Structure 1
Amino acid sequence: MGIETPRTGRPRAFDEETVLDRATEVFWRYGYEGASLSALTSAMGINRPSLYATFGSKEQLFQRAFTRYHETQVANARAALDQPTARAAIEAFLRSSADGLTADDHPAGCLSIQGGLACSPENTRISKILAAGRAATESALEERLALAAQEGDLPQGMDARALARFVMALSEGHAVHAAAGASREDLHASIDIALRALAAQL
C-alpha cells in the first residue's frame, strides 16, 4: 500500500486585487443590481466557481469592491481637507471630487451614487453600505469644519454640520451630472459659483 502525499491546492491563476478592480468598474458602470454575474466574470476573467471561492457571493464581492474604492476616496478627501483654512479645504475637496468624477481611467460619476442608490427590497443592505460610505465622507468634512469653528476660522454661529451637508450635496449632485455626461469644466464652473456664494458667508 503506497504512502499518499498530501494534495496541495492549485494556486490561483489571477491577481485578486486586479480582478477586484475590474469588478469595481462593472458595479460602477451598471450598479449592483445591473451588474450580472456574467458581466462580472467576463470582466474579471474568471469563472463563477472561482468568483464564489475567492469572494463568497456577489454581495460579498461588492462589499470588497466598495471598501477598496471607499478607502481611496476617503484618503483623497482627507488629503483635500488638509488645508490651512476652511474655505481652502472646501475648495480643495470640491475640485478634487470634480476631477475624480470625470477622470478617464474609470466610469464617470461616483460608485457610491451609481452602485445602488435605490435597490429592490432584498438588496437594501447594498443601499445601506453605500449610504454609510457617503456618511463617513461627510463626517470627515464636518470634523474639519468643526475644527475650523473652534479655531475661529468660521463665522460665529456657523453650523459646521449644515455646511458639511451643503458641500456634500453639491459634490453628490456633481456625481449625478458627471454620470450624465457633464464635463470637468462644467463641474468646476459650478464650483466657482458655489465658492462665490460661500465667500459672502465665510
Structure 2
Amino acid sequence: MARPREFDEEKVLLLAVERFWEHGYEATSLRDLAQAIGLTTASIYNAFGDKHAFYRKALDFYVERSFGDRVGRFETKPPREAIGAFFNEIIERSLSDTKRKGCMLVNSALEVAPHDDEFQRVVAQVLVQVEAFFKRCVERGQEDGSINRSSNASDMAGTLLGTLLGIRVLARTRPERDLLEGLIRPIFALLEPNHSQTILSHDR
C-alpha cells in the first residue's frame, strides 16, 4: 500500500508556482524548489517527477487558478461587461505586480515553449481556450446587439487575445495605467454597436 503524502499538495504547488513564476524555468533548480517548499529533492521527485514534470504540474495549477477561475466568474456576465471585467482585472493585476513577474503562461510561451514541443502544445491549448472565451462573448454580444455585428467574431477574438498578450508583456517593463488602458480603448471602440468599420481589400 502506498504511503499517504505527508505534505499539503496544494500548498506545495502554490510555492512552486511562485518560485518558477518569479525566477523562470531555466534559473530554477530542484534544489531551489526544495528550499522554497521545505521538502527534499527526493520527495519532490517521488511526488511530482523531474523538474520538467513538476513545472508542467505547477503551470497547470496556475492556469486553473488564473484563467480558469476568471472565465468561471465572468462568463455569466453580459458579453461586453465580461470582456471589460476580464481586461480590467488583468490590468489591475499587472499594475499591482511589484516584482514584475508578468503572466506565468506568457512567460512559458516566451522561455520554454520555443524549445519544448510539449510546452508548445500546452501553451497553445490554453491560448486557444482564451480565444474561444473571447469569441463566445463577441458572438453573444452580436446576438443581443451589444457588440458591433459587422466585425468578424473570430477576427475580434484574435485581436482581443493579441491585446491581452501585449498587455502582459508590456507591463513587465512599463506598468503604466495610461499606457495599458490605452491599449484596450481602441478595441472597445471597435466593439461599439454603432461602430462603422472600413474593410481594406488587398485585391484592388
Q: Which TM-score band applies after superposition, normalised by the shorter structure? A: 0.7 to 0.9
RMSD: 2.9
- Structure 1 residue corresponding to 2:73, chosen from 76, 79, 97: 79
In 2, distance between residues paired with 1:170 and 1:32? 25
- Structure 2 residue corresponding to 1:53, chosen from 41, 46, 53: 46
Q: What TM-score does the superposition give when structure 2 sets the normalisation length?
A: 0.79
- Structure 1 residue corresponding to 2:121, chosen from 116, 121, 128: 128
Name the structure 2 match of 1:201. Answer: 195
1:42-191 paired onto structure 2 within 5 Å: 42-72=35-65, 73-84=67-78, 86-104=79-97, 108-119=101-112, 123-184=116-177, 186-191=179-184
CA apart distance, 1:135: 1.5
CA apart distance, 1:105: 8.4
Q: Deviations over 1:93-149 (max 9, x none)?
A: 211121233334875311111124243876221232122112211111212222222
Mean Cα deviation higher: 151-160 or 189-198 = 189-198
Amino acid at match of 1:15: D
CA apart distance, 1:185: 5.3
Other structure's SS at 2:171 match: helix
Is there any run of 5+ residues in structure 2 with no aligned partner, and where? 197-204
CA apart distance, 1:64: 1.6
Name the structure 1 match of 2:12. Answer: 19
Mean Cα deviation higher: 68-77 or 31-40 = 31-40
Larger radius of gyration: 1
Is there any run of 5+ residues in structure 1 with no aligned partner, and where? 1-6
Equivalent pairs, count? 194
CA apart distance, 1:71: 1.3
Name the structure 1 match of 2:21. Answer: 28
Q: What TM-score does the superposition give when structure 1 sets the normalisation length?
A: 0.80
In 1, distance between residues paired with 2:42 and 2:31? 12
CA apart distance, 1:189: 4.1
Residues 121, 187 of structure 1: alpha-carbon distance in 2 compared, 3 angstrom cutoff: closer
Mean Cα deviation higher: 191-200 or 129-138 = 191-200
Q: Is the contact made by 1:30 and 1:114 (CA closer than 8 Å) also made in structure 2?
A: no
Mean Cα deviation higher: 185-194 or 31-40 = 185-194
CA apart distance, 1:159: 1.0
In 1, distance between residues paired with 2:26 and 2:119? 9
CA apart distance, 1:32: 2.5
Residues 169, 120 of structure 1: alpha-carbon distance in 2 compared, 3 angstrom cutoff: closer
Other structure's SS at 1:201 match: coil
Q: Deviations over 1:163-201 (max 9, x none)?
A: 111111111111101222414554234334543454463
Residues 106, 53 of structure 1: alpha-carbon distance in 2 compared, 3 angstrom cutoff: farther
Q: Deviations over 1:61-104 (max 9, x none)?
A: 122211221112222134234332x3322221211121233334
